């Protein structure tokens, strides 16, 4: 048990300095059909300018995704967050997705995929973060293709002070 009868002191760092969301709603359905190139998700991008080079940027993406595979087949895809600083683009995080149908009926999955990463860009220049997808094999890979019609994917950046 902890009792505090005043102001807590001596706890440095971890200050939330700013929060930025993707400026335009990401609600349109987008199919990723290429098995040779990455596709950027429309409106799942944002820019943030850190107030200090020592700041960290906590990136959170919630993507409403649909994966579909034909009967007795394999589905493989990837989603990633990239950052661009001064014309140089690098991957921040990448996740693989795999679905296999063991029956003869085919299968699909629809739901939110969340990715989080604490980035240390070491800059005070503007940073653009974007989210994209790639389908290696499969029948369908889509963003915001949920039959309920209530689909919105989001990208949020939190600047955390040192």
| DSSP label of 51 | S
Q: What is the pLDDT of residue 1?
A: 62
- Asked if residue 53 has pLDDT above 90, the reply is yes
Q: How far apart are CA 93 and CA 81, in angstroms?
A: 5
Q: How far apart are CA 36 and CA 58, in angstroms?
A: 30
Q: What is the pLDDT of residue 4?
A: 66
Give the gyration radius of the chain's Cα atoms: 19
Q: What is the pLDDT of residue 124?
A: 97
Q: How far apart are CA 11 and CA 123, in angstroms?
A: 24
Q: What is the pLDDT of residue 19?
A: 96
Q: How far apart are CA 92 and CA 130, in angstroms?
A: 10
Write the CB contacts of 26 (distance below 8 Å, at least 6 apart in sequence): 41, 42, 43, 44, 143, 144, 152, 153, 154, 155
More confident of the two residues 11 and 106? 106
| DSSP label of 53 | T
More confident of the two residues 158 and 149? 158
Contact predicate 144/41, CB 8 Å: no
More confident of the two residues 88 and 22? 88
Q: What is the pLDDT of residues 118-136, one digit of tens each?
A: 999 999 999 999 999 888 8
């Amino acid at each position: 048990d902890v009792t505090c009868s005043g102001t807590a002191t001596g706890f440095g760092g971890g200050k939330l300095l700013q929060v930025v969301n993707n400026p335009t709603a990401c609600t349109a359905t987008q199919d990723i059909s290429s098995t040779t190139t990455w596709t950027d998700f429309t409106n799942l991008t944002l820019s943030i300018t850190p107030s200090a080079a020592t700041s960290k940027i906590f990136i959170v993406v919630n993507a409403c995704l649909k994966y579909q595979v034909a009967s007795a087949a394999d589905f493989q895809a990837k989603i990633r967050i990239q950052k661009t600083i001064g014309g140089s683009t690098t991957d921040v995080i990448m996740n693989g997705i795999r679905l296999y149908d063991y029956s003869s009926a085919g299968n699909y999955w629809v739901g939110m995929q969340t990715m989080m990463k604490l980035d240390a860009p070491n800059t005070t220049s503007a940073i653009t973060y974007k989210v994209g997808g790639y389908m290696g094999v499969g029948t369908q890979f889509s963003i915001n293709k949920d039959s309920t019609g209530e689909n919105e994917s989001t990208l949020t950046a939190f600047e955390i002070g040192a």
